[in-house]
């Protein structure tokens, strides 16, 4: 999950770092960085208090109330209390089912899955869908090569998209007069991402799996990767990839209601990238899919359950861009698979989405001679120019807009006395409005070349000549911005009413905040969205960090959250109830789009 930047980024301190880079000249190495306008330094040791502090009292609810149709209220009550749903939930409430969910989570999450290189994790999910979870090969709608039949976007940023999706078939397509979009019948999507920030690259195939380390609460949270690697207690797995139920497993599998109970009761931190963001929800989505298949839960519209690729880092939302046919150049989504609603599993119930433009620019030196134009100096000049930029929200009333130099790094010189071959600069800009994002892009993007030109001019070199610094765009990222004109849409209605029906929430209130999630793409395309969670953790911290950890929470929470997601998805898709009646879909069969498919 990309979290919004909440601070102005004017880079005064950043100039100290880049000044140091310039001073280093030919001796500058790799790894220099500027983050949120501050000079980078060794990370401070993450700390966890010995006695967890009581959370602050929640603020009074704020936002806009949705007007939920009576038909949605009626559907929620019928679906939530259906005997088929009750049988599914009863089975999932057993100790055996809770253990199976826990083991599956550990076994799948330890498979590394950097953004855009999720192929190993997707392959294991594909294997289990057919060999263990009860699906036929034709119900698995994604393939090992990253393609989905029916979409017009199978390549994003020049790479395959390793989604893992399965369909719960509905009855609609076989009915008389069924409508479709270019052969695609209506679908509801339930998705959670399978990519994880750490590790940043796939390990060697000879040693492919992540170590799951265990640490008592009494010990401080690790401060370095070396400290993490030095922890001796870890979970073990057999040759088939199954977790071994030994003493370490028993310690990790203890169940706690909260952090205080875990600390007092001998709980452990379980260090595992993706523990909180967001494999617990995604793994349980496939548990839910298998349970729907086993208990013959039959929707009217198809329901797709997906582990999506590319939500984190430079993933560029590749997974949902494939699913929604989002063309980055045009900034539009064709929705070729005809989704009518989208349910994400990152929680929050957000309806407004922060967009971002991200650039990775490379400043390349012309030769190894140290007396010519300098790549670090060109990059420093570009940042100096960017530092003077004021955002639209700095200049007057406008949606909040920020920009950040996320990382500035340089290659080490190839030999003593030679210059730095190149430096790389990452910059992103964020806003909830495309208009203000475009203002920032049009202001900042020319400054990359302006820094190059200034450094070339300093040495009397002409831009574009063989002896000049050159500039290369390595990567461009786009998360489309979206602000809801109304909180009343079918996904929000189903999301809220399912919570009210089950007692998870008390009122149909939609918050005014903004997020940056996979949901950016469907919302921008016009497809209604809402977010849930299927996870349960007693405690956790370190999301996006090498020291991400969690402690096992109450299995009953997973079941109750599954109940809510099932209810919401079936409200939208329609449902064949146990008494032989049909709850009709809460929305028509034609999904929205901002571009037509050309076939």
How many C-beta atoms surround the C-beta of residue 345 within 10 A?
Answer: 28
**Secondary structure E strands in 275-351:** 302-308, 326-327, 332-333, 339-344
Beta strands in 131-193 (DSSP E): 155-156, 159-160, 164-168, 187-193
Give the list of residues 6+ apart from residue 592 with CB closer than 8 angstroms, or none: 335, 525, 526, 527
CA of residue 276 relative to chain centroid, distance: 11
277 φ, ψ to 5°?
-130, 90
Q: How far is CA 443 from CA 15, 391, 439, 474, in A?
A: 19, 9, 6, 19
Distance of CA 569 to the CA centre of its chain: 20
CA distance 364 to 373: 10
In whole angstroms, give the CA distance from residue 61 to residue 202. Answer: 43
Beta bridge partners of 597: none
Q: What is the pLDDT of residues 544-584, one digit of tens each?
A: 999 999 999 999 999 999 999 999 999 999 999 999 999 99
pLDDT value of residue 44? 39
Identify the pLDDT of residue 18. Answer: 46
Contact 539, 258 (CB under 8 A): yes
Indicate the burial class of 396 (C-beta count within 10 angstroms; 0-12, 13-18, 19 or more). exposed
Helix, strand or coil for residue 344? strand
Reported as a single tens digit per residue, the pLDDT across 241-288 is 999 999 999 999 999 999 999 999 999 999 999 999 999 999 999 999
**Cα 532-533-539 angle, rounded to 5 deg:** 145
Strands 302-308 and 187-193 come out as parallel
pLDDT of residue 368: 78
What's the alpha-carbon Rg for the chain, to the nearest Å? Answer: 25
Please give the domain boundaries of the chain with CATH numbers for all domains: 68-353+483-574 (3.40.630.10), 355-479 (3.30.70.360)
Prior bond of 278 cis (ω within 30°)? yes
In the predicted model, residues of the chain with pLDDT beneath 70 are: 1-62
Query: Per-residue DSSP letters for 556-599?
Result: HHHHHHHHHHHHHHHHHH-EE-TTS-EEPPSS-S----SS----
484, 534, 1, 152 alpha-carbon torsion, rounded to 10°: -70
- Three-class SS string for 414-436? CCCCCCCCEEEEEEEEEECCHHH
Write the Ramachandran bin of 331: left for phi over 0, alpha for psi from -120 to 50, otherwise beta.
left
Q: How far apart are CA 200 and CA 206, in angstroms?
A: 17
Q: Which two tokens stand for residue 404?
A: 């950040």
Quick check: 121 and 111 in contact, CB under 8 A?
yes
Q: What is the pLDDT of residue 2?
A: 54
pLDDT of residue 434: 94
The CA distance from 147 to 123, in Å, is: 13
What is residue 313's DSSP assignment?
G
Nearest to 274 by CA among 575, 550, 89, 553: 550
């Amino acid at each position: 999950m990309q979290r919004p930047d909440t601070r102005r980024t004017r880079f005064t301190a950043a100039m100290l770092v880049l000044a140091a880079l310039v001073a280093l000249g030919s001796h500058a190495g790799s790894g220099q960085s500027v983050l949120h306008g501050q000079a980078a330094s060794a990370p401070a040791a993450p700390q966890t208090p010995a006695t967890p502090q009581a959370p602050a009292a929640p603020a009074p609810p704020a936002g806009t109330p949705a007007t939920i149709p009576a038909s949605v209220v009626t559907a929620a009550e019928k679906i939530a209390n259906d005997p088929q749903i009750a049988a599914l939930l009863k089975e999932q409430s057993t100790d055996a089912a809770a253990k199976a969910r826990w083991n599956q989570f550990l076994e799948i999450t330890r498979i590394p899955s950097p953004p855009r290189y999720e192929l190993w994790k997707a392959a294991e999910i594909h294997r289990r869908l057919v060999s263990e979870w009860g699906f036929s090969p034709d119900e698995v709608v994604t393939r090992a090569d990253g393609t989905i039949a029916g979409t017009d976007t199978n390549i994003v940023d020049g790479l395959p998209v390793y989604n893992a999706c399965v369909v719960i078939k509905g009855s609609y397509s076989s009915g008389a007069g069924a409508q479709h979009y270019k052969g695609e019948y209506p679908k509801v999507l339930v998705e959670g991402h399978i990519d994880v920030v750490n590790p940043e690259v796939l390990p060697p195939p000879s040693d492919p799996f992540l170590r799951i380390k265990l640490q008592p609460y009494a010990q401080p949270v690790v401060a370095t990767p070396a400290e993490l690697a030095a922890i001796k207690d870890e979970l073990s797995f057999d040759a088939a990839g199954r977790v071994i139920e030994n003493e370490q497993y028993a310690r990790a599998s203890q169940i706690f209601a909260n952090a205080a109970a875990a600390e007092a009761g001998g709980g452990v931190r379980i260090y595992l990238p993706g523990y909180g963001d967001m494999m617990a929800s995604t793994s349980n989505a496939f548990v839910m899919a298998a349970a729907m298949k086993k208990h013959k839960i039959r929707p009217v519209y198809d329901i797709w359950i997906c582990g999506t690729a590319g939500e984190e880092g430079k993933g560029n939302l590749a997974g949902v861009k494939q699913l929604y046919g989002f063309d980055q150049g045009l900034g539009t989504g064709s929705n070729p698979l005809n989704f009518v609603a989208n349910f994400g599993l990152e929680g929050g119930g957000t309806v407004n989405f922060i967009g971002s433009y991200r650039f990775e620019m490379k400043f390349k030196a012309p030769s190894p001679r140290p007396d010519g134009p300098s790549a670090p100096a060109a990059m420093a000049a570009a940042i100096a120019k960017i530092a003077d930029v004021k955002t639209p929200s700095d200049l007057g009333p406008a949606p909040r807009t920020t920009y950040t130099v996320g990382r500035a790094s340089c290659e080490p010189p190839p030999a003593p006395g030679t210059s730095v071959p190149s430096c790389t600069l990452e910059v992103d800009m964020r806003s909830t409005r495309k208009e203000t994002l475009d203002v920032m892009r049009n202001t900042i993007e020319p400054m990359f070349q302006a820094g190059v030109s200034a450094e070339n001019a300093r040495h009397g070199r002409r831009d574009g000549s063989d002896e000049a610094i050159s500039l290369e765009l390595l990567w461009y990222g786009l998360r489309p911005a979206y602000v809801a004109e109304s909180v009343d849409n079918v996904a929000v209605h189903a999301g809220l009413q399912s919570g009210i029906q089950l007692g998870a929430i008390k009122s149909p209130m939609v918050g005014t905040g903004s997020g940056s999630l996979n949901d950016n793409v469907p919302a921008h395309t016009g497809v209604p969205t809402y977010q849930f969670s299927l996870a349960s953790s007693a405690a956790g911290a370190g999301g996006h960090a090498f020291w991400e950890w969690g402690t096992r929470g109450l299995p009953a929470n997973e079941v109750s959250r599954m109940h809510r997601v099932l209810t919401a998805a079936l409200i939208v898709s329609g449902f064949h109830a146990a008494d032989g009646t049909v709850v009709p879909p809460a929305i028509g069969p034609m999904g929205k789009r901002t571009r037509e498919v050309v076939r």
